[in-house]
Structure 1
């Protein structure tokens, strides 16, 4: 296998990880939230924070590296056309994802505190969850759009 093929495999796997963990994390956090059980929310949020740290963060780092290398090897200009649009969407994703990670940590901590004190979830938990939910839509839509751009490679 040549370098281009290896980079392409790594890039596609990274995109799959971003899309898959994004969808999985959203599903599990939403299901835990709907149960309104602080212990379940705390447990789920612990796993979600770990998954974001291990899988999502690794893919976030590798995607621009493998993408830039692929663009260079294929002779595509990096900051124009579909690649330029992908980079803009990648920044949008990051601007949504970074607060979401912080919110997930806070949701976990608030749920752990509710468990420790045998109290209901505080109103702050619900406010933060609404922000988490809202920020997830543009982030997921941007990642999905990037995958479509990678596959379709439209001419602009």
Structure 2
């Protein structure tokens, strides 16, 4: 296997990890939230934070490295056309994802405190969850756009 093919496989796997982990995290957090059970939410959010740390963060670091190497080997300009637009969408995703990670940690901690004390979830939990939910839409849409751009490679 040549270097280009190896990088392309790594890049596609990274894209699949970002898309799959993002969708999975959203699903499990939403289902836990719907239970309104602080113990379930705390446990699920703990796993979600771990998954984001292990899987999403790794892919976030490797994607631009493999993407830049692929663009260089293929002779594509890095900051224009579909690659440039992909990078813009990548930044949009990051601007949504970073606060989401912080929010997930806070949701976990608030749910854990409620579970340990036997108290209901505080209003702050619900405000943060709404923000987490809203930030997921542009982030997920941007990742879908990036995947489309990678596959279609439109002339822009």
What TM-score do you get using the length of structure 2 for normalisation? 1.00
- Say if 2:26 is the partner of 1:26: yes
Distance 2:99 2:151 in 1: 28
Q: CA deviation at 1:146?
A: 0.0
- Say if 2:43 is the partner of 1:40: no
Q: Secondary structure at the match of 1:51?
A: helix
Q: CA deviation at 1:126?
A: 0.0
Q: CA deviation at 1:59?
A: 0.1
Aligned to 1:143: 143
Aligned to 1:93: 93
Distance 2:94 2:49 in 1: 16
Distance 1:141 1:25 in 2: 15
Q: CA deviation at 1:152?
A: 0.1
Q: CA deviation at 1:60?
A: 0.0
Structure 2: any 5+ residue segments left out of the alignment?
none
Distance 1:131 1:101 in 2: 12
**Alignment RMSD (CA, Å):** 0.2
Q: CA deviation at 1:48?
A: 0.1
- Say if 2:121 is the partner of 1:125: no
- Displaced runs of 4+ in structure 1, greater than 4 A? none
Alignment length, in residue pairs?
156
Structure 1: any 5+ residue segments left out of the alignment?
none
Aligned to 1:53: 53
